[in-house]
């Protein structure tokens, strides 16, 4: 069985979880996306992902495609994600959904995710919460 799964335990599902991440989390920006990241205490379930794709992004078909591509990126790159983080991915308003591909998302988000991992290890080494 593959370890590259995206189970229900890897999802942010409740509004308070999203609000906490928006309020207390750090923001990381790319050209087309914003990542809100909140570190939490070590959890056996690991990282969790939330997607916030608004109607301004496009039709339901376009929004679902953007979400599918984002989930696939995080599923494929889960080995790079910090184990104790809640992450919310938000596409920016000017993003054209028909241009969203796995290559575009990887090109933009992989450097941000790598920076997250380095920041998490640096924080753990310094003993800061």
Q: What is the CATH number of the domain that holds 61?
A: 3.30.230.10
pLDDT tens, residue by residue, 69-96: 999 999 999 888 888 889 999 999 999 9
Q: Is residue 1 part of a domain?
A: no
Domain range holding 103?
Answer: 8-126
Looking at residue 107, its pLDDT comes to 95
Looking at residue 89, its pLDDT comes to 95
pTM recorded for the entire structure: 0.86
Q: Is residue 20 part of a domain?
A: yes
Q: Which two tokens stand for residue 67?
A: 């979400």
Q: Is residue 3 part of a domain?
A: no
pLDDT tens, residue by residue, 41-71: 766 677 899 999 999 999 999 999 999 999 9
Q: Is residue 54 part of a domain?
A: yes
Q: Which two tokens stand for residue 28?
A: 């990381």
Looking at residue 41, its pLDDT comes to 75
Q: Is residue 68 part of a domain?
A: yes
Q: Is residue 59 part of a domain?
A: yes
Q: Is residue 48 part of a domain?
A: yes
Alpha-carbon span 117 to 92, nearest angstrom: 23
Q: Which residues of 27-55 are buried (b: 16+ CB within 10 A; e: fewer)?
A: ebeeebbebbbbbeeeeeeebbbbbbbee
The rounded Cα 120 to chain-centroid distance in angstroms is 15
Looking at residue 44, its pLDDT comes to 64
pLDDT tens, residue by residue, 6-25: 778 888 989 999 999 999 99
In this structure, are strands 85-91 and 26-29 parallel, antiparallel, or unpaired? unpaired
Q: In total, how many domains does the chain have?
A: 1
Q: Is residue 112 part of a domain?
A: yes
């Amino acid at each position: 069985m593959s370890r590259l799964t995206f189970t229900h335990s890897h999802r942010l599902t409740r509004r308070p979880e999203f609000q906490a991440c928006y309020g207390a989390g750090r923001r990381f920006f790319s050209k087309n996306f914003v990542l809100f990241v909140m570190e939490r205490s070590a959890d056996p379930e690991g990282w969790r992902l939330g997607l916030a794709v608004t109607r301004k992004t496009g039709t339901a078909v376009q929004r679902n495609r953007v979400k599918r591509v984002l989930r696939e990126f995080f599923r494929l790159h889960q080995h790079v994600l910090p184990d104790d983080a809640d992450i919310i991915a938000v596409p920016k308003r000017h993003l054209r959904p028909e241009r969203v591909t796995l290559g575009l998302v990887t090109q933009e988000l992989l450097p941000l995710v790598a920076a997250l991992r380095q920041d998490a290890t640096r924080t753990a080494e310094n003993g800061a919460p």
